[in-house]
Copies of this chain bind each other. A is one copy, B any other.
Amino acid sequence: MNRLEPRQAAQWLMERDSFLVLTHIRPDGDTLGSAAALCAILRKLGKRAAMLPNPGTTGTYADYVADYWAGAEERFDHVVAVDIATHGLFFPEEEPYKGKVELCIDHHPSNEFYAENVCLDAERASCGEIILEISRFLCALDDEIATLLYIAVSTDTGCFVYGNTTAATHQAAAELLQYSTRYREVNKRCFRTKSFKRLRLEAMLVENMELFQEGTIAVVSVSCQMMRELNATEQDAEDLAAFAGQVEGVKVSATLRELEEGKTTKISLRTDPNVLNATKTCALLGGGGHVAASGATVQLPLPQAKEAILNAIAAIQQEG
């Protein structure tokens, strides 16, 4: 495995001509915006580049990245993974590419170095910031590239509000806004619009929210039953993990999402890192992520998953 600086990653891309770009399961604005921007950059250089269609892509993002999906019959010479920390985050259609990724561009400290070449900067709030760095060695920004990177940079920071936001994030945004004519539309669609179903889902979370340790820990659950009852889509449930953390006084919030009824639960943990290390806590359940935002998928029904994460939190708290 080789570690590449952005300049070297750009060089690696420059020397090749045809790329399939992978994104992670349950794709967010960072993996999709970064991957689409990378394709736009490579196409601007006259190369072939497309994204493996990600079936989890929700409507808002689909509108922006639709031009970059690979056709079913298309074949490419090189495989690039964007914002994917581990093979565990490959979606089923990406199975054949496990062990075949030649370049991974990522910002997760938990990256498992499964790729031949890895361009990793764990100081960055989003993969979009790294793609922007790489782009400097390849081509000038334009409206399309800047808008896609703005989607990546803004969504991974909750529009510059999450703790991962740094001066570098704002520097990237300042640069992108000089080229993007559509950033206001992105802001309205991604951050200032909620579906009625989404609001009903949030209302249900408020109803089932449990507070522990004098209101410093909040646990909420999203069951399959709730999703069915509301006829809610994946898009309606997007980034629900941030919801419980906004309650006044809450330092640690766990959002339990039932993936398979009575069987599989995805736990998303958001923490004030001064209070609890989310990465370590989720590692106890076989997961990983960032110090303030990690996750784990466990083969447990909702009530047992709740117990498991509360136990993991207690264990890490005891470690001090």
Contacts and interface: CB of A to CB of B under 8 A. Distances in A.
Given A170-B171, A192-B246, A248-B193, A206 B203 contact: yes
Q: Which of A170, A173, A247 has the most CB of B within 10 A?
A: A170
Interface in A153-178: 158-163, 165-168, 170-171, 173-175, 177-178
Contacts of A215: 196
A77 interface: no
Contact of A170 (B174, B196, B206): B174
A166 B2 CA distance: 39
A102 to B, nearest CB: 34
B159 A167 contact: no
A98 interface: no
Contact of A178 (B167, B177, B199, B207): B167
A194 interface: yes
B195 A199 contact: no
Copies of this protein in the complex: 2
A209 interface: yes
Nearest to A201: B206
B163 A184 contact: yes
Interface string A206-238: 110101000100000000000000000000000
A170 B168 CA distance: 10
A202 B203 CA distance: 7
Q: How large is the interface on A (under 10, 10 to 19, 20 to 34, 35 or more residues)?
A: 35 or more
Contacts of A245: 192
Contact of A194 (B174, B204, B211, B246): B246
A97 interface: no
A164 B182 CA distance: 13
A58 interface: no
Contacts of A177: 165-167, 170
Nearest to A159: B161
A160 B183 CA distance: 11
A75 interface: no
A100 interface: no
Given A171-B174, A174-B174, A177-B170, A165 B187 contact: yes
A44 interface: no
Nearest to A183: B165
Contacts of A12: none
Contacts of A196: 206, 209, 211, 215, 247-248
12 contacts: A159-B160, A159-B161, A160-B160, A165-B184, A167-B178, A170-B174, A170-B177, A192-B246, A194-B248, A196-B215, A199-B246, A202-B206
Interface of A: 158-163, 165-168, 170-171, 173-175, 177-178, 184, 187-188, 191-196, 199-200, 202-204, 206-207, 209, 211, 215, 245-248
